[in-house]
């Protein structure tokens, strides 16, 4: 048997299976069979070293350790990429690009892999040199280390010289395994997958590198001849056997790019590797050349970075907030830190148990996290940097606002202030009463409510309707005056007629949110009827559990409730039974959609729109963001419309909205 031929056959066969396994994720043979082939090859190459080739898979297990890396100058500098953080900035990028070009611009978008940049050179179809980015002009020759990367092709069916560039990275799972192993072995841990990739490529012993499961994605290729557009270049690289990211897409305008960025943000956490943004590139290579580069970065590409979801900062203090039901909620006061596009100076701590669970102390360095529109929270404490001066937080025995006694609730978690007249509780109840889904009293915000309570102009929400008798006092309040006082009184008057569910919700019965209030409103004709129902009737209502039933029952038997309801009745506050909207048996056409309303509609109030959208599966949100599905515009739209236009978000007017609703089968 011809040993040279046999070695060639094994090399080809193993490389084929390698490709099936690492590139196509579709293995044809078992690991055992693969290992047997590899062992056969190792044995043959040992016997006939003269037949060893540069693309032999045995090259991946690492050669001799090096004393140091050779420095190599890059043929073209490895520049960096300018960052953007919003769709507005992407629109600016598009404007800059289109201004400099005459032809229409197409864009290629690619995930920005959070790894280490490398340059790979192939000659006569073989991988001959790999270099790290270094300072951009020159880097380390790390060919032997790069050879160990299983999805890096050692040979390609392409005979002219070609340089490709890409990112070496660690998969999240492999990173966890590596760190677990290092922990067991008492080795220092890597901070993140990028760190692990960088650390691995710096090892001087390729045999050690080969034990680290590194991966590669290539994102560019310099060809002497060939396609004059980036997208087909990537396709060609893929055909040659290079790993090209599967989420690469070609778009004809920036709006589509923005849309991709918006969608990608949601799926990025599910990917097996870390990405720290999206790279957006002008497709035409001629256009790229025309646009050129600054000393730092090319003008034909930009990175859209995802807002950082985590940060570290210092916990300065823990304060207590008293809610409308008297619950004392600890709030973390933080040294301000930028996170996900805003400055964070507070985070919720939920309750005393959470403080104990985290073992968080005043003065600690903490990790904070913010996801979507959720309030930031403390993830963990960096205990390693404690100085010993950190103070342990203790729940007080008295309410920090009114000095009333506090007690641990029967649920065993919440700590409450006993005093229902505690000014903090009173303020919170009024704020809730005035809120949009409740009585929707415009202009009655947090600061004003606090002032009204502090100056004793109101003792409960019933008093709001008698404020007109205190106009003189109202006018003298900070930032009030004749005009604002009149406006406030008008808004209060307007709230006298509210649909029953909103009114019921406004009362602030514990455990009763707007949804439960809606259910109750279907069952009962009036507040009076609800008030007179017994516990059994209440608990028999579907979706109203025993806790809610008991809470409703107790609420109406409370002295304070009687007083406040009496005031409301005297003032003429009425609940309207029928809102005229029935949401049943319809297609959930707004399922998963986020809709923003701006301006006034002719046929619907804001809360009716909220109910309609909710009933059809969607959400009415307050501000326009790239996540918004469409903006519904009424008369006198505000700045939200402009923002929607800038972001290229769909705009719908009232008549189109009505058509959509009709189409859902819902009768209005
Ligand atoms: S193109 C001018 N495409 O991001 C550099 N880079 O922050 C052109 N990166 O050094 C590079 N994924 O290491 C490009 N799909 C991608 C990328 C990508 C990750 C890295 C690259 C670069 C760094 C710049």
Atom of ligand 1 nearest to the CA of 220: 1
Pair 584, 590: CB distance under 8 Å: no
Q: Is 81 a pocket residue for ligand 1 (Cβ < 6 Å)?
A: yes
The answer to whether residue 394 sits within a structural domain is no
The length of the chain, given as a count of residues:
668
Q: What is the pLDDT of residue 667?
A: 63
7-16, 42-51, 202-211, 614-623: which has the minimum mean pLDDT? 614-623
Residue 218 CB less than 6 A away from ligand 1? no
Residue 408 pLDDT > 70:
yes
Domain match, 449 and 560 both: yes
CB 347 within 8 A of CB 369: no
Q: Which atom of ligand 1 is nearest to the CA of 79?
A: 2
How do residues 165-194 score in pLDDT, each as one tens digit?
A: 999 999 999 998 998 888 777 777 777 788
Residue 406 lies inside a defined structural domain of this protein: no
Give the CATH number of the domain where residue 35 resides.
1.10.287.610
Q: Are 285 and 349 contained in the same domain?
A: no
- Which residue, judged by its Cα, is nearest atom 13 of ligand 1? 117
What does the angle CA 576 – CA 578 – CA 584 come to, to the nearest 5 degrees?
145
Is the domain of 262 the same as that of 183?
yes
* Whether residue 112 lies in the annotated active site: yes
| Residue 402 belongs to a domain | no
Instruction: Tell me how far the alpha carbon of residue 645 lies from the centroid of ligand 1, in angstroms.
Output: 30
- Max intra-chain CA distance, the chain: 110
Measured from the Cα of 116, ligand 1's closest atom is: 13
Question: Which residue's CA is minimally distant from atom 16 of ligand 1?
Answer: 112
Region of 443 please: left (phi>0), alpha (psi -120 to 50) or beta.
Answer: left
90 and 198 in one domain? yes
432 lines ligand 1 (CB under 6 A): no
Q: Among residues 517, 495, 501, 504, which one has the least CA distance to residue 571? A: 495
User: Given pLDDT bands bounded at 50, 70 and 90, which one contains residue 340?
Assistant: low
Residues 477/447, Cβ–Cβ less than 8 Å: no
Say if 417 falls within a structural domain: no
- Is residue 113 in contact with ligand 1, taking CB distance under 6 Å? yes
Distance CA 569, CA 465 (A): 10
Is 531 inside any structural domain? yes
Name the pLDDT band for 221 (thresholds 50, 70, 90): very high
- Say how many Å lie between the CA of residue 165 and the centre of ligand 1: 9
Q: Report whether residue 250 contacts ligand 1, using a CB cutoff of 6 Å.
A: no
Task: Confirm or reject: Cβ of 198 under 6 Å from ligand 1.
Answer: no
The pLDDT of residue 611? 83
Domain CATH for 520: 1.10.150.20
The answer to the question of residue 392 being in a domain is no
Compute, in angstroms, the gap from residue 578 CA to the centroid of ligand 1: 59
Q: Is the CB of 167 under 6 A from ligand 1?
A: yes
Q: 84 CA to middle of ligand 1, Å? A: 14
The Å distance, Cα 175 to ligand 1 centre, comes to 21
Residues 438-468 have pLDDT tens digits of 999 999 999 999 999 999 999 999 999 999 9
For atom 4 of ligand 1, the residue with the nearest CA is 112
Question: How far, in Å, from the CA of 341 to the mean position of ligand 1?
Answer: 23
Mutate to test the pocket of ligand 1, among 279, 292, 293 (most ligand atoms within 8 A of CB): 279
Whether 440 and 481 map to the same domain: the answer is yes
Same domain, 293 and 347: no
Among 545, 571, 597, give the residue marking a domain's end.
571
Whole-number Å distance, alpha carbon 282 to ligand 1 midpoint, is: 14
What is the CA(166)–ligand 1 centre distance, in A? Answer: 7
Which among 77, 78, 112, 249 is the best mutation to test ligand 1's pocket, defined by most ligand atoms within 8 Å of the CB? 112
**What are φ and ψ of residue 180, in 5° steps?**
-60, -45
* Residues 319, 301 share a domain: no
Residue 373 has what pLDDT? 44
Which of 117, 136, 242 best tests ligand 1's pocket when mutated (most atoms within 8 Å of CB)?
117
pLDDT at res. 50: 92
The answer on pLDDT for 18 being more than 90 is no
Cα–ligand 1 centroid distance for 125 (angstroms): 25
Average pLDDT over residues 213-233: 95
Instruction: Specify whether 177 is located in the same domain as 273.
Output: yes
Q: Which atom of ligand 1 is nearest to the CA of 133?
A: 10
Work out the percent of the chain whose per-residue pLDDT is above 90.
62
- The residue nearest atom 9 of ligand 1, judged by CA position, is 112
**Cβ–ligand 1 contact at 293 (below 6 Å):** no
**Residue 505: inside a domain:** yes
Q: Is the CB of 668 under 6 A from ligand 1?
A: no
289 and 350 assigned to the same domain:
no
Cβ(344)–Cβ(376) below 8 Å = yes
Q: What is the pLDDT of residue 584?
A: 52
On whether residue 475 sits in a domain, the answer given is yes
Q: Tokens representing 616? A: 């059809």
Residue 580's pLDDT band, with cuts at 50, 70 and 90, is very low
- Indicate whether residue 156 lines ligand 1 (CB < 6 A): no
The residue among 122, 139, 142 whose CA lies nearest residue 130 is 142
Q: Which of 231-235, 253-257, 590-594 has the lowest mean pLDDT?
A: 590-594
The residue among 663, 654, 603 whose CA lies nearest residue 631 is 654
Please write down the long-range contacts of 644-648, taking CB distance under 8 Å and 24 or more positions apart: 644/596, 644/598, 646/87, 646/88, 646/91, 647/87, 647/88, 647/258, 648/87, 648/254, 648/255, 648/258, 648/259
pTM score: 0.54
Report the number of distinct structural domains present in the chain: 5
When comparing pLDDT for 25 and 597, which is higher? 597
Residue/partner pairs of 171-177 with CB below 8 Å, 24 or more apart = 171/213, 171/215, 171/272, 171/273, 172/272, 172/273, 172/274, 173/272, 174/213
Instruction: Give the closest residue (by CA) to ligand 1 atom 12.
Output: 112
Cα distance between residue 19 and residue 123, in whole Å: 20
Question: Is residue 244 within 6 Å of ligand 1 at its C-beta?
Answer: no
Count the helices and strands in the chain (H runs, E runs).
24, 24
Range of the domain at 443: 426-571
- Checking if the pLDDT of 582 tops 80, the result is no
Residues 245 and 353 in one domain: no
Span from the CA of 188 to the centroid of ligand 1 (angstroms):
28
Same domain, 41 and 85: no
Regarding whether 199 and 113 lie in a shared domain, the answer is: yes
Please give the mean pLDDT across all residues of the chain.
90
- Specify the CATH number for the domain of residue 590: 3.40.50.10190
Instruction: Say which range, 152-156, 245-249, 584-588, has the weakest mean pLDDT.
Output: 584-588
Ligand 1 near 110 CB (within 6 A): yes
| Domain end marker among 520, 538, 571 | 571
CB 297 near ligand 1, within 6 Å: yes
Residue 569 CA to ligand 1 centre (angstroms) = 67
Q: Which atom of ligand 1 is nearest to the CA of 303?
A: 7
Please pick, among 47, 112, 316, 587, the residue that the annotation labels catalytic.
Answer: 112
Reply yes or no on whether the pLDDT at 374 is more than 60.
no
Q: Residue 381 and residue 318: Cα distance in Å, rounded? A: 14
């Amino acid at each position: 048997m011809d040993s040279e031929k046999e070695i060639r056959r094994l090399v080809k066969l193993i490389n084929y299976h390698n490709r099936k396994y690492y590139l196509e994720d579709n293995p044809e043979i078992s690991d055992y069979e693969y290992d047997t082939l590899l062992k056969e090859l190792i044995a043959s190459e040992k016997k006939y070293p003269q037949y060893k080739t540069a693309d032999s898979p045995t090259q991946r297990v690492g050669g001799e350790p090096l004393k140091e890396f050779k420095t190599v100058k890059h043929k073209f500098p490895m520049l960096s990429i300018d960052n953007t953080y919003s769709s507005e900035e992407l629109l600016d990028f598009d404007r800059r690009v289109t201004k400099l070009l005459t032809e229409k611009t197409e864009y290629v978008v690619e995930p920005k892999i959070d790894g280490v940049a490398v340059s790979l050179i192939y000659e006569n179809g073989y991988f001959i040199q790999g270099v790290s980015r270094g300072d951009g002009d020159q880097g380390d020759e790390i060919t032997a280390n790069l050879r160990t990367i299983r999805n890096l092709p050692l040979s390609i069916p392409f005979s002219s010289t070609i340089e490709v560039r890409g990112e070496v990275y660690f998969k999240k799972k492999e990173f966890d395994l590596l760190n677990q192993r290092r922990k067991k072995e008492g080795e220092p841990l890597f901070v993140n997958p990028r760190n692990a990739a960088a650390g691995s490529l710096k090892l001087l012993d390729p045999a050690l590198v080969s034990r680290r499961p590194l991966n590669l994605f290539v994102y560019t290729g310099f060809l002497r001849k060939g396609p004059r557009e980036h997208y087909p270049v990537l396709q060609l690289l893929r055909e040659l056997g290079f790993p090209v990211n599967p989420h690469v897409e070609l778009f004809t305008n920036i709006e589509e790019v923005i849309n991709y960025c918006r969608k990608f943000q949601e799926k990025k956490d599910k990917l097996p590797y870390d990405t720290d943004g999206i790279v957006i590139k002008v497709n035409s290579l001629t256009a790229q050349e025309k646009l050129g580069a600054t000393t730092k970065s090319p003008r034909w590409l930009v990175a859209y970075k995802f807002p950082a979801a985590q940060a570290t900062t210092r916990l300065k203090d823990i304060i207590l907030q008293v809610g409308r039901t008297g619950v004392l909620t600890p709030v973390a006061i933080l040294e301000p830190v930028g996170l996900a596009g805003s400055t964070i100076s507070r985070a919720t701590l939920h309750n005393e148990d959470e403080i104990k669970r985290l073992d968080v102390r005043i003065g600690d360095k903490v990790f904070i996290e913010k996801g979507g529109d959720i309030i930031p929270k403390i993830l963990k404490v960096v205990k390693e940097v404690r100085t010993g001066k950190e103070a342990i937080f203790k729940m007080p025995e008295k309410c920090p606002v009114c000095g009333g006694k506090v007690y641990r609730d029967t649920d065993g978690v919440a700590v409450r202030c006993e005093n229902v007249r505690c000014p903090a509780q009173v303020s919170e109840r009024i704020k809730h009463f005035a809120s949009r889904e409740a009585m929707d009293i415009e202009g009655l915000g947090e600061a004003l409510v606090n002032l009204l309570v502090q100056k004793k102009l109101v003792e409960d929400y019933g008093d709001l309707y008698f404020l007109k008798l205190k106009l003189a006092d109202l006018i003298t309040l900070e930032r009030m005056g004749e005009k604002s006082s009149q406006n406030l009184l008008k808004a209060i008057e307007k709230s006298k007629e509210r649909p029953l569910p909103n009114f019921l919700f406004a009362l602030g019965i514990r455990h009763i949110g707007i949804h439960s209030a809606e259910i109750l409103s279907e069952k009962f004709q009036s507040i009076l009827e609800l008030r007179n129902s017994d516990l059994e009737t209440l608990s028999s209502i579907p979706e109203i559990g025993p806790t809610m039933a008991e809470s409703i029952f107790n609420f109406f038997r409370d002295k304070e409730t009687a007083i406040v309801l009496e005031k409301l009745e005297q003032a003429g506050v009425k609940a309207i039974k029928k809102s005229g909207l029935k949401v049943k048996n319809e297609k959930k056409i707004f399922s998963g959609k986020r809709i923003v309303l701006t301006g006034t509609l002719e046929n619907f109030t804001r809360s009716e729109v909220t109910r309609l959208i909710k009933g059809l599966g969607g959400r009415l949100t307050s501000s326009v963001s790239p996540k918004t599905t469409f903006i519904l515009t009424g008369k006198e739209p505000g700045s939200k419309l402009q923002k929607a236009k800038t972001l290229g978000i769909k705009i719908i007017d009232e008549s189109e909205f009505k058509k959509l609703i009709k189409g859902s089968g819902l009768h209005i």
